[in-house]
């Protein structure tokens, strides 16, 4: 049985004082019994999140990382830096980073390798555009994204990765994929993983859905056999996140 993992992606929202307010509002009402809960906050909110979430059962994650250890990379943060302060998860390859900041599949693969080497769990995002969906190439495209991301990653390490299937057309648009559409692609991702590795790895790896997840659609999505949780953007910034995590 795979344990569900529900992560909030705060994106570029909340100053440290606003983060403290939101964490206070959420942390005691969230069910952490049979779900791994993660708050992926902006870098400047990490200290506050650690402070407020210690002993809460909620993990702290970051939203980006660079693949070099140190050096002349102005503005970047290394996996080693994140690891030393206790970051447990990091989002890698979000579509906003791919489209707005030029991240390529090769960079994303390097980031995955580096993050795993530093004992941080990557939340790897993949997902098709509206045009690709309409052209009927969704699964072909996602197979390539997954294969490129997992290059040179061992069986043991692959099991640790969390994959987030996020159709770009559903992110921040209020347009959620139907639970069947989400299930179809998450199942396809598990299939690719079993081709790259084996059934064992495919059965262990956790696959989230992301894209306009709300309290109203969470339960239906989480009941799908190949969906092991969600990466939640907008709805992670309010008390709605409680309803999503406590979906049962």
Residues serving a catalytic function are 94, 166
The H or E element containing residue 243 is helix 240-245
Task: Kindly indicate which of the ranges 28-36, 77-85, 182-190, 210-218 contains the residues binding ligand PGA, using the contact rule CB under 6 A.
Answer: 210-218
Question: DSSP string of 122-134?
Answer: EEEEE---HHHHH
Q: Does 9 bind ligand PGA (CB under 6 A)?
A: yes
Lookup result for tokens 């080693």:
80
Residues of this chain, 91-130, that bind ligand PGA according to CB under 6 A: none
Chain residue whose CB lies nearest ligand PGA: 233
CA distance 193 to 212: 25
> Can you read off the two tokens belonging to residue 48?
């506050």
Out of 93, 127, 188, 211, which residue is the one contacting ligand PGA (CB under 6 A)?
Answer: 211
Q: In the set 27, 123, 233, 247, which binds ligand PGA (CB under 6 A)?
A: 233
208 is an interface residue for ligand PGA by CB under 6 A? no
In whole angstroms, give the CA distance from residue 185 to residue 102: 24
Query: Residue 234, interface with ligand PGA (CB under 6 A)?
Result: yes
Q: Which two three-digit tokens encode residue 28?
A: 């005691």
Both tokens of 167, joined, read 């159709």
**What residues make contact with ligand PGA under the rule CB under 6 A?**
9, 166, 171-172, 210-213, 231-235
């Amino acid at each position: 049985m795979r344990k569900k993992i529900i992560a909030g992606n705060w994106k570029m929202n909340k100053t440290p004082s606003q983060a403290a307010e939101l964490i206070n509002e959420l942390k005691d009402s969230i069910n952490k019994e049979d779900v791994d809960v993660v708050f992926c906050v902006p870098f400047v909110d990490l200290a506050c999140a650690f402070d407020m979430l210690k002993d809460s059962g909620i993990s702290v994650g970051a939203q980006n990382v660079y693949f070099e250890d140190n050096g002349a990379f102005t503005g970047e943060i290394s996996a080693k830096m994140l690891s030393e302060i206790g970051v447990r998860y990091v989002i890698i390859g979000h579509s906003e980073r791919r489209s707005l900041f030029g991240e390529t599949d090769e960079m994303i693969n390097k980031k995955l390798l580096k993050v795993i080497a530093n004992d941080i769990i990557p939340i790897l995002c993949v997902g098709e555009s509206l045009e690709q969906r309409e052209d009927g190439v969704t699964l072909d495209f996602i197979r390539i994204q997954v294969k490129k991301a997992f290059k040179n990653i061992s069986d043991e390490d692959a099991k640790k990765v969390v994959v987030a299937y996020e159709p770009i057309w559903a992110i921040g648009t209020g347009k959620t994929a139907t639970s069947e559409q989400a299930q179809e692609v998450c199942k396809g991702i598990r299939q690719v993983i079993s081709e790259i590795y084996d059934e064992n790895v495919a059965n262990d790896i956790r696959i989230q859905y992301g894209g306009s997840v709300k309290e109203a659609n969470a339960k239906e999505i989480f009941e799908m056999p190949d969906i092991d949780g969600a990466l939640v953007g907008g709805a992670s910034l309010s008390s709605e996140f409680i309803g999503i995590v406590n979906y049962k």
